[in-house]
Each structure stands twice: as C-alpha cells, then as structure tokens.
Structure 1
Amino acid sequence: MTSKTRKITGWVLSGLIGLMLFASAIDKIKGSEHALQMGTSFGISAETYTFLGCIEFLSVLLFLFQRSGVLGTLLLSSYLGGAIATHLQHQQNILFPMAIEAAVWITAIIRFPELTRRFGNPKSLNERTA
C-alpha cells in the first residue's frame, strides 16, 4: 500500500469511527431516552452514564488528532474493553463492541507507523535499543 493510499484509508476509517463514537458519546451526554434505558439495563445511573459519555468523547478526540492518536487508541481500547465486559456480564451480544474495537486497532495500525513497527517486527526494535 502506498503512503498516500495508507494515509487516505487511515483518515477515512478514523472519520467513520469518530462519527460513530461521537454519536454514541453525545447520546450519553444528552441523556437521551435510549441511552438512559441502556444505562438502566446495565445498572448504571444517569450521572455515571453521562460521565462515561464524556470519557468516550475525550478518547475519540485524542484518537482523531495525530499527535495524541496512540493515546486515544489505548483509551478507546480500554473503554471498549469495559463495554465488552459489561455486555458479557449482562448476557448481551458482544459482537458490536468487539467489531468497533477491532476497527479502532486496524485504523491505528494503518495511521501510526510506530505501531506497525512495534507489532510487526520486534527484531528491528531490539537492534535500535542495543
């Protein structure tokens, strides 16, 4: 994949993930009826669900900015891991949060070459540090 193609693909995927997760965060922050029903089904108060929306919003912002993208990836991964655990605890389908987490990591690997180097060829890291 050429550098230009990689960059375009990374930003398109980032935009799609950002839109989806921003919508989810805004839904939680505004306290829509759907969000409150979801929070209640998990045993989460409205205030806590609003706080979770703020965390999600901040994590997405960090993910979208190039300089803080790796940190945003880690925060989104943690957030979505919690969503998966909560869904498992309440016997709900985990396919959607798992798919989003996979998309976040695939996008991060495309956008941030340092992750590709870190995960792709561990020998090259050892040679640099030695």
Structure 2
Amino acid sequence: METQAIYMKTVNPSKSARITGWVISILCLLFLVVDGGMKVVNAAESVKGSTHLGWPAELVPGLGVVLLICTLLYAIPRTAILGAVFISCYLGGAVAIMVRVNEPYYFPIIFGILVWVGLYLRIPALRALFPVNKA
C-alpha cells in the first residue's frame, strides 16, 4: 500500500533535470562500455591494469562480460535501477581491491555516485524514495 502511495505522489522532474540526468547516464554508459569492451578483447592496457590489481590475466575477459551485462541492464530504462545496483556492486569490489593493494580508490566511489545521480535526476520514483528537502 505505501509503495503505491509513493509512486502516486511523484512529480516529474523538470526538463533540465531530466536532460542532465540523461547526459550523466550516457557518459557513464560510454565509459562502462569502453571499459568492459577492453576487458573482453584483452586490450593490453586493461590486462596490465587488472593484473597490477591482482587479477589473473585469464579472468579479465570474464570481468568484462560481467560489466557489459550490468551496463546493458543500466542502459535499458525499464531495468536501469537493477543495472545501477549491479554496477554499484561491481564498483564496491573495485574499491575493496584498490584498498587491498593500497591504490587510490576515490574514482569508483565517485563513478558510482554519478551512476545514481543520473537516475535520480530522471526517475521520479527515486526522487520520492529519497527526497531532498529545500531548506
């Protein structure tokens, strides 16, 4: 009952918020597709970076496939929230690995925030679940 009430009280975002949300989401999608694609095709830089973080080189394409599946879910508007959850899980693993090898770990955190900001700006239901009140 309460869930339906949340969805019924939503107000559509402004045109500028919706456009900004799409721009952020598309930029995130482009980065994720390139990163996942480079892992799948075993690009030298991607393999070098992954092995530096402790991943065996033969597992890098599998990571790319997982990332591309998550990205595909994020790209489809109907499954975008599920894709964002999976991308957040993937990025959480990236943070854990980077902490373990003592590398800067701020990029996956900021990127994960951008993934959600893009959705928040364009999906009214997320705005209803996480309201930001003006002071």
Q: TM-score, normalised by structure 1?
A: 0.85
Match for residue 103 of structure 1 among 105, 109, 114: 114
Show the counterpart of 1:5: 16
Show the counterpart of 2:49: 38
Match for residue 19 of structure 1 among 11, 30, 41: 30
Show the counterpart of 1:126: none
- Which portions of structure 1, spanning 4 or more consecutive aligned residues, are displaced by more than 6 angstroms? none
Match for residue 80 of structure 2 among 66, 69, 76: 69
Q: TM-score, normalised by structure 2?
A: 0.82
| Structure 1 residues 2 and 44: alpha-carbon distance in aligned structure 2, compared to 1, 3 A threshold | closer
| Unmatched runs of 5 consecutive residues or more in structure 1 | 122-130
Tell me the percent identity.
Answer: 31
Asked if residue 87 in structure 1 is aligned to residue 98 in structure 2, the reply is yes
Take 2:48 and 2:17, find their aligned partners in 1: how far apart are those partners? 40
Take 1:89 and 1:114, find their aligned partners in 2: how far apart are those partners? 36
Are the counterparts in 1 of residues 13 and 122 from structure 2 also a CA contact under 8 Å? no
| Structure 1 residues 101 and 2: alpha-carbon distance in aligned structure 2, compared to 1, 3 A threshold | closer
Structure 1 counterpart of 2:79, which letter?
S
Paired residue total: 121
Structure 2 counterpart of 1:54, which letter?
V
Deviation, structure 1 residue 98: 1.3
- 1:10-29 alpha-carbon deviations (Å, 9 max, x no partner): 11111100111111111111
- Which structure dedicates a bigger proportion of its chain to helix? 1
- 1:23-45 alpha-carbon deviations (Å, 9 max, x no partner): 11111111111111112112212
Higher relative contact order (CA 8 A, sep 6+): 2
